[in-house]
């Protein structure tokens, strides 16, 4: 389970660090991606806030290799964010391959939380 948790952590680090890079300066690509995923056009400050939280979450995942609490907190945030995106996609009738990315991130966040709690 520890190896699976490490792989899940790596996936979360990769995805959400790239997301933070795009969201913090509120790049148009980040706004368009958020809008296409949730069908809700965000305000600029919301995108920046999500980017900052993504960055803090990535730091938490990295710290989580040595301490359990930051990984659990970061994993909880990523699970909530990914769960929200999947929920919005499902309510708007998305199916098939549109659901794969954020379902994967949700699963990775949950796997990371479980593996960190079990190893502590």
What is the C-alpha to C-alpha distance for residues 61 and 68, in angstroms, rounded to an integer?
A: 9
* pLDDT 10s digits, 75-84: 999 999 999 9
* pTM, full prediction: 0.92
Which stretches within the chain are classed as H helix? 2-23, 28-38, 44-63, 68-91, 100-119
Q: Are 70 and 60 in contact (CB under 8 A)?
A: yes
Q: What is the pLDDT of residues 26-75, one digit of tens each?
A: 899 999 999 998 898 999 999 999 999 999 999 999 999 999 999 999 99
Give just the sign of the alpha carbon dihedral 63, 68, 69, 73: positive
Question: How many Cβ atoms sit within 10 Å of the Cβ of residue 35?
Answer: 13
């Amino acid at each position: 389970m520890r190896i699976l948790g490490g792989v899940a952590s790596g996936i979360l680090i990769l995805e959400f660090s790239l997301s933070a890079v795009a969201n913090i300066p509120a790049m148009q690509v980040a706004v368009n991606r958020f809008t296409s995923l949730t069908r809700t056009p965000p305000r600029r400050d919301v995108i920046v806030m999500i980017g900052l939280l993504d960055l803090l979450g990535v730091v938490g995942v990295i710290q989580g290799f040595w301490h359990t609490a930051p990984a659990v907190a970061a994993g909880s945030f990523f699970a909530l964010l990914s769960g929200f995106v999947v929920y919005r996609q499902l309510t708007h009738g998305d199916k098939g391959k549109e659901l794969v990315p954020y379902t994967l991130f949700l699963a990775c966040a949950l796997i990371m939380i479980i593996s960190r709690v079990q190893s502590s």
